[in-house]
Amino acid sequence: MRFTSEQRLDDGVLEREFTLGEIPGLLWTPASASASAPAPLILLGHPPLGLRKMYPRLVARARHSVADGFATATIELPGSGDRPRWPAAEQARADLRRAMEAGEPVSDEIVDALVLPLVDKAVPEWQAALDALLSLPEIGGPVGYSGGVISIGTRLAVVEPRIAAAVLFAGSFVPRAMFEEARQVTVPLHVLLQWDDEGNDRQTALDLFDAFGSREKTLHANMGGHTGVPQFAADSAARFFTRHLK
């Protein structure tokens, strides 16, 4: 992990860009974090649109987490931003566009091709990022995952024992195979659903929520489209992390 730039945001948050091998990432830490008072960590999940495009929304979420006393980090997803594409993903994206433009249902094959390789590639990268981040003296555990892609968060919650709680955003296609993995999740979950999310199937989201094996799981459904999560819902998710990670 190599830090490539550093700036202090106006509210005292330290923002650092880093690279982890070929993977760019961002780390935000509270001024109060130090080797003697290491901060718990939240990993910020996001859709595969590129960190640069997502930056305004990510930094807003990070400021909120840092204000609550969490170190907060994210990495570029495979195939996003300046990272190399791979042909099968490009093909899946083209198939998805074609199906949606034709008003056809999105087939299981397209969803699998779109999401499963992304999950397979992204999860080990998040784990590598976790290794690197937890080796910093100012960051300690426990660790939470927050956001989308919900299949990435689900897999990570199953395979990575350092994830102690997760806020999952139900706003992306879910391969059928993920339902089996969802049953294996046991950490406390807080699932956010936008009731009128134009690109997301509500019933699939409800079925996935039902499938999660966690004894403590909460669904917060709110009005509005994909990007319209109300501030009070974000505040509520933040309280979930404070309850479980501090």
Q: Among residues 2 and 215, whose Cβ is nearest to a copy of itself?
A: 215
Secondary element (H or E) of residue 19: strand 14-20
Q: Is 32 exposed, middle or buried (0-12, 13-18, 19+ CB in 10 A)?
A: exposed
Q: Among residues 111 and 191, whose Cβ is nearest to a copy of itself?
A: 191
Altogether, the residues listed in the chain come to a count of 246
Minimum CB separation of residue 48 from a copy of itself in Å reads 28
b/e burial code for range 221-244 (CB count within 10 A of at least 16 → b): beeeebeebeeebbebbbebbeeb
Q: Say how far apart CA 146 and CA 234 lie, in whole Å.
A: 11
Minimum CB separation of residue 178 from a copy of itself in Å reads 19
Minimum CB separation of residue 206 from a copy of itself in Å reads 7
Q: Are strands 14-20 and 2-8 parallel, antiparallel or unpaired?
A: antiparallel
Q: Among residues 18 and 240, whose Cβ is nearest to a copy of itself?
A: 240
CA-to-CA dists, residue 7 to 15, 17, 129, angstroms: 5, 9, 21
Q: Among residues 85 and 246, whose Cβ is nearest to a copy of itself?
A: 246
Minimum CB separation of residue 234 from a copy of itself in Å reads 12
- Binding footprint of a copy of itself on the chain (CB under 8 A): 195, 206, 209-210, 215-223, 230, 232-233, 236, 239-240, 243
Minimum CB separation of residue 147 from a copy of itself in Å reads 19
Q: Among residues 128 and 234, whose Cβ is nearest to a copy of itself?
A: 234
